[in-house]
Structure 1
């Protein structure tokens, strides 16, 4: 009996580019901003495309709103990622070692800074710092397992 099989592998696409800002801290920060900003903008583009398909029409006003939303989300998430990457790299340089504690401290500092920029409530800033540190540490541990 004839058989056929399909043999292939699935790999994550890798898009890598380098922007030299003249200092490693700036290079890491800009890289984080651009990569995560692009992911956020892509997410909005897919959501907006879904809504257009569901609605069955596209208007120039709707397209303009979608583009503004893409830029806003991309800039926001890119800024948060840039701050985190810069903080983690800074912690690594200050501490002189590369480990999970840098992620924890960078995440806590980022959570506090983002929270402080958006609110003046001291307790919320502390809670967001704890959340940022916990999320960054969890991601670091998950990356270690894979």
Structure 2
């Protein structure tokens, strides 16, 4: 794994992962990037809660650490599922278009809802529809610009 440098404040944080196969490279790259973003998000939320409640104890910091790892793993896995499914559908269909992204987003939304403690049928379907819609909208915006 090679790490590249980027300027502070730059929108590009490039991590080059070479494990011998493009599919595995995409999965690991996405897992790392999405997991890192989710981890930073959890840290920011946790620190805000600690400052707001004015209770910086060992227990609250341990809870923050557990929550950070949990969120990083959870979102990293969802991101890897999304990228993996988009790649798999693209390879199966032999074409790259918004339909691949729709399937990947729907399956990532489904995976996300299965990770919740109270996964119910209507929430699973709703998450699949939302995931597919958001992914498709993002892809169509990417194509149009």
User: Where in structure 2 are the equivalents of 1:36-75 lying within 5 Å?
Assistant: 36-75=34-73
- Cα 1:61–1:139 change in 2 (3 A) is same
**Contiguous gaps of at least 5 residues in structure 1:** 1-10
Instruction: Tell me which moved more, 99-108 or 125-134.
Output: 125-134
Instruction: Tell me which moved more, 41-50 or 127-136.
Output: 127-136
Aligned partner of 2:4 in structure 1 is none
Find the aligned partners of 2:106 and 2:90 in 1 and give their Cα distance.
Answer: 14
Pick the structure with greater CA Rg: 1
Question: How many pairs align?
Answer: 136
The answer (yes or no) to whether the contact 2:34–2:75 under 8 Å persists in 1 is yes
TM-score normalised according to structure 2 size: 0.80
Residue 115 of structure 1 and its aligned partner are, at CA, apart by: 3.9
TM-score normalised according to structure 1 size: 0.79
Aligned partner of 2:24 in structure 1 is 26
- Cα 1:52–1:110 change in 2 (3 A) is closer
Aligned partner of 2:133 in structure 1 is 134
- Cα 1:62–1:141 change in 2 (3 A) is same
Alignment of 1:86 with 2:84, yes or no, is: yes
Residue 23 of structure 1 and its aligned partner are, at CA, apart by: 1.6
Aligned partner of 2:15 in structure 1 is 17
CA RMSD of the aligned region, Å?
2.2
**Contiguous gaps of at least 5 residues in structure 2:** 1-8
Partner SS for 1:49:
helix
Find the aligned partners of 2:115 and 2:45 in 1 and give their Cα distance.
Answer: 27
Aligned partner of 1:7 in structure 2 is none
- Cα 1:49–1:25 change in 2 (3 A) is same
Q: From 81, 86, 103, give the equivalent of 1:105.
A: 103
The answer (yes or no) to whether the contact 2:50–2:56 under 8 Å persists in 1 is yes
